[in-house]
Amino acid sequence: MSRAADGRRVVVTGAGGFIGHHLVRRLKAQGAWVRGVDVKRPQFEASPADDFQLLDLREFENCRAAVAEVDEVYQLAADMGGIGYITKVHASLTRNNALINAHMLEASRLAAVQRYLYTSSACVYPSHLQEDEAVAPLREEDAIPADPEKGYGWEKLFSEQLTAYFHEAYGLDTRIVRFHNIYGPLGSYEGGREKAPAAICRKVAEVEDGGTIEVWGDGNQTRSFCYVDDCVEGILRIADSGYSEPLNLGTDELVTVDQLATTASGVAGKKIRLHHELDQPQGVRGRNSDNSLLQKITGWQPTTPLREGMHQTYQWVWHQLAAEDRAKPPAPAPQILMARAAHA
């Protein structure tokens, strides 16, 4: 376990988003004083942050307000979404995120914060290492020489470098975390910004037993997925690690997108047929995460197998849709939800 946070004053930017909201919950449970900052409030439940400020972090003065009188910064704010979204908006997304990250670093330096954690992405890795389904897990040093994902990935890699320069030049105590496909309850499941696990849960929840759902691509593209509780534990361990170089945070449980859909239909208790939408974007062919450096430095290990994490996610999505009369039976088993709630 990471150390107790009592007495710390922290800001979580992107606290209205998926991972940021979970991180605020965990930091509050540890006893930290937490400020959440975002352009929007969390969509599905109120933030437990002590102070929640609606600020556009593309503006430098708003970044200064965000980091005022805090010890630690967790920078999760970003214009982002699933593959369908990030491949459509390269110019605006890259500009938005570059502004947020440059201003947040400078504001944090001026405020002399004790620690700054930047959240990067597996999208920094070169495309040519991800052309096969049976892909080798990506190691941190594979990112350079660079050939990242257009737009979103280039900006993440640039902001990693900028974060490292602030460490070198000004002694800012920085961390860089590369997330690999984080999923779980309280994430977007529709509207265009949702990721594959939540999108598949929504499709399975909305279809009758025996029905058909659409899967983007031919279904053989591979990924690994990391449950959000494991992700938050990893963030806190990395924050405490004293390690300033980039670290992967993901799992190496590699599955095809078809297997992800089959896992969702399995936890749903439905027999589902898959229809492949070949003209939809599907990203790189294969991507997996080598987490050995993270494990060596922090002792972190993922504790939630994909099937269990998808069960939690499916239950949550199903109940969201059921409240709008959109979910089709059977209802997922409630005792699993209660077991997880006991840990929260």
Give the pair of three-digit tokens for residue 71.
Answer: 């010890």
- 27: contact with ligand NAD by CB under 6 A: no
Site string for ligand NAD, 190-229 (x = CB under 6 A): -----x----------------------------------
First to last CA, the chain: 14
Contact assessment for residue 100 and residue 57, using Cβ atoms and an 8 Å cutoff: yes
- 121: contact with ligand NAD by CB under 6 A: yes
CA neighbor of 43 nearest in space, from 67, 63, 20: 20
Sign of CA pseudo-dihedral 315, 185, 51, 234: positive
CB of 23 to ligand NAD, least distance (A): 9
For residue 154, the Cα-to-chain-centroid distance in whole angstroms is 17
SS3 205: helix
Cα–Cα distance, 77 to 159 (Å, whole number): 13
CB of 325 to ligand NAD, least distance (A): 26
| Residue 161 CB partners (closer than 8 Å, separation 6+) | none
Site string for ligand NAD, 80-119 (x = CB under 6 A): x---------------x---x------------------x
Question: Among 9, 28, 58, 103, which residue sits at the site for ligand NAD (rule: CB under 6 A)?
Answer: 58
Question: Among 5, 12, 17, 106, which residue sits at the site for ligand NAD (rule: CB under 6 A)?
Answer: 17
CA neighbor of 292 nearest in space, from 283, 302, 282, 284: 302
- Which residue's Cβ lies closest to ligand NAD? 17
CB of 171 to ligand NAD, least distance (A): 24
142-181 positions binding ligand NAD, by CB under 6 A: 179, 181
- 57: contact with ligand NAD by CB under 6 A: yes
CB of 271 to ligand NAD, least distance (A): 29
Q: To which residue do tokens 């704010």 refer?
A: 77
151/217 with CB nearer ligand NAD: 151
- Has 152 been annotated as catalytic? yes
- 77: contact with ligand NAD by CB under 6 A: yes
SS3 215: strand
Instruction: Determine which one of 85, 152, 183, 189 is catalytic.
Output: 152
CB of 7 to ligand NAD, least distance (A): 26
Contact assessment for residue 186 and residue 45, using Cβ atoms and an 8 Å cutoff: yes
Please identify every residue annotated as catalytic.
152
